[in-house]
């Protein structure tokens, strides 16, 4: 049994729902938030979960194995580092950190302490993505060719009424950091890491400091080409992905926040292969979705069966991609990955 403390009662509410689906793997012992009333609202009458407004007491508690960091982005690095140094594993909401340099520090501390960090990318988990992975494993997808990603969401003034949102110091970035980062993770998960890219960013929707629109062109390490369109001014909220392989074309639904739980199409390029594709798709049934799937993979990894969890390297890669996008947009040129320590934005993209 993995004993958990959730720090932050905002998105932490959704994390708690995920843990509740896995009672044989996890026990949430503590919820920590400066607003104890808000924390108390998360807990049902049937649960015995302690409430705390003292994060240092949580870190010192020997009964906690894993700390789930659900705080605003500017706090992620310092709190996650403290979790490792306290001898506990960490889950950290996106974005993991605010620079590649900070990610590298966490990698070093994780190695020194022997503790793991699991960056949050719950969009990976659901029947749609499990079916795609099964098709890839069966050799039915083939070579990645091209992909398109749309992250067209709607954020109005009320969303930015929270004082840290829409600012460089608080939110730490715009739509490519706090919104499209999930779909970009799916792109890299199924089409391979990015080798080089060019990008245009703009602030066209709201009166904020950070970007809320983007157009990005990418070449993956395997040669595949991809485009990403991002806006926070869409009247209809959608996430839409289309992955084209040499043997298979995959089209997602349009669910904005749970794409892996939607209805996807898996179309064999050669019609005679469609029955085999349909057979593999039909063979994937019971799958934990969203946060429950994300936490299940963590429980398996900590229990000695890794392979399906989001890794610290995945988190670093997501931050490196954000960094490259900002660098390309500001320079007007093409940026190659991986980024080295000599990169101008290695220590952060904040102006």
Total residues belonging to the chain: 351
> What domains can be seen in the chain, in order of their start residue?
2-122 (3.40.50.720), 126-287 (3.30.360.10)
Averaged pLDDT, 260-280 = 97
Q: What is the pTM of this model?
A: 0.95
- The closest alpha carbon to 289, from 252, 257, 318, 243, belongs to 257
Percent of the chain scored above 70 by pLDDT? 100
Question: Rounded distance, CA 209 to CA 82, Å?
Answer: 30
Instruction: Write the pLDDT tens digit of every residue in 199-211.
Output: 999 999 999 999 9
Q: How far apart, in Å, are the Cα atoms of 119 and each of 71, 116, 308, 317, 320? A: 13, 10, 13, 11, 14
In this predicted structure, what is the pLDDT of residue 296? Answer: 98
Percent of the chain scored above 90 by pLDDT? 97
CB atoms near residue 86 (< 10 Å): 18
Residue 2 predicted with pLDDT over 90: yes
In this predicted structure, what is the pLDDT of residue 38? Answer: 94
**With bands split at pLDDT 50, 70 and 90, how would you rate the model's confidence at 69?**
very high
Contact 123, 253 (CB under 8 A): no
**With bands split at pLDDT 50, 70 and 90, how would you rate the model's confidence at 46?**
confident
Higher pLDDT residue, 273 or 47? Answer: 273
């Amino acid at each position: 049994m993995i004993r958990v403390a959730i720090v932050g009662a905002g998105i932490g509410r959704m994390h708690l729902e995920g843990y509740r689906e896995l009672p044989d793997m996890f026990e949430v012992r503590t919820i920590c938030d400066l607003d104890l009333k808000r924390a108390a609202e998360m807990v049902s009458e049937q649960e015995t979960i302690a409430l705390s407004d003292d994060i240092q007491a949580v870190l010192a508690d020997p009964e906690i194995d894993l700390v789930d960091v659900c705080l605003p982005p500017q706090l992620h690095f310092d709190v996650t580092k403290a979790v490792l140094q306290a001898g506990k594993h960490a889950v950290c909401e996106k974005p993991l950190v605010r620079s590649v340099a900070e990610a590298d520090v966490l990698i070093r501390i994780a190695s020194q302490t022997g503790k793991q960090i699991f960056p949050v990318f719950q969009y990976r988990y659901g029947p749609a993505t499990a079916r795609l992975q099964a098709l890839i494993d069966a050799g039915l997808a083939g070579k990645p060719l091209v992909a398109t990603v749309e992250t067209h969401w709607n954020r109005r003034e009320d969303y930015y009424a929270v004082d840290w949102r829409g600012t460089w110091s608080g939110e730490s970035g715009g739509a490519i950091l706090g919104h499209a980062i999930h779909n970009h993770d799916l792109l890299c998960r199924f089409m391979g890491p990015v080798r080089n890219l060019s990008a245009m960013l703009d602030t066209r929707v709201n009166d904020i400091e950070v970007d809320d629109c983007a157009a990005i062109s990418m070449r993956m390490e395997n040669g595949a080409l991809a485009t990403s369109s991002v806006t926070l001014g869409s009247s209809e909220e959608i996430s839409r992905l289309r992955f084209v392989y040499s043997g298979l074309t995959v089209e997602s639904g349009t669910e904005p926040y749970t794409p892996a739980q939607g209805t996807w199409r898996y179309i064999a390029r050669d019609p005679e292969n469609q029955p085999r594709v349909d057979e593999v798709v039909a063979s994937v049934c019971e799958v934990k979705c969203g946060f429950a799937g994300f936490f299940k993979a963590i429980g398996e990894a900590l229990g000695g069966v890794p392979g399906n969890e989001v890794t610290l390297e995945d988190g670093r890669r997501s931050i490196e991609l954000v960094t490259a996008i900002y660098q390309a947009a500001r320079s007007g040129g093409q940026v190659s990955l991986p980024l080295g320590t000599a990169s101008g934005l290695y220590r952060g993209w904040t102006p």
